[in-house]
Structure 1
C-alpha cells in the first residue's frame, strides 16, 4: 500500500466515522494514527489537523469510558468539526499528490 492508497483509505475512514460511542472514538483514533503515521511528506496543515483530531478523540473517549458517561452533543459537534478539518486536509493532500 502506498501513500495515495493510505490517503484514500483515510478519506473513506473519516467519511464513515461514527462519533457517538467511546469505542467508536477509540477505533477511529487507532485507525487514523495507523494511517497518518505511515504517510510521508505531508503538508503541515495535514499534520496539524491529524494531531488535533487524534488528541481530542483520545481525551473524549477516555473520559467517556472512565466516567461511564455518554458522549455529549457538544463533544460530538467539536469532534465532527475536527473530522471535517482532517477530511479537507486529506483531500488537499490527495489533490497535491495527484497533480
Structure 2
C-alpha cells in the first residue's frame, strides 16, 4: 500500500534589513582592497546599485551588501545577480 500526500505549499523565506534590536542581520561581504590569494573580483566605481540593495562600509575595507527593506530571498538573490554581472575577475 502506498500513501500519497499532496505537495506542501512552498514556504517563502524573507530577509530583513534590520533586526528588532536595531542591529544589521548581515549580507554579502566584499572588500575594497585586494587581499592575498586568488579569486578576487572587482566592481568599478560609478556602477549603479540595484534599488533593493544598500552598500554599507561597516568597518575598514569591509563592505556589506544588505537588503534595503524586507524582501523575499528570491528578490534579494535577483538583485545580487544584477550587480554581480558588473564584477570582473582580477586574479
> Larger Cα Rg: Structure 1 or Structure 2?
2
Q: Which structure has greater strand proportion? A: 2
Q: TM-score range by the shorter chain?
A: 0.3 to 0.5
Q: Which structure has greater helix proportion? A: 1
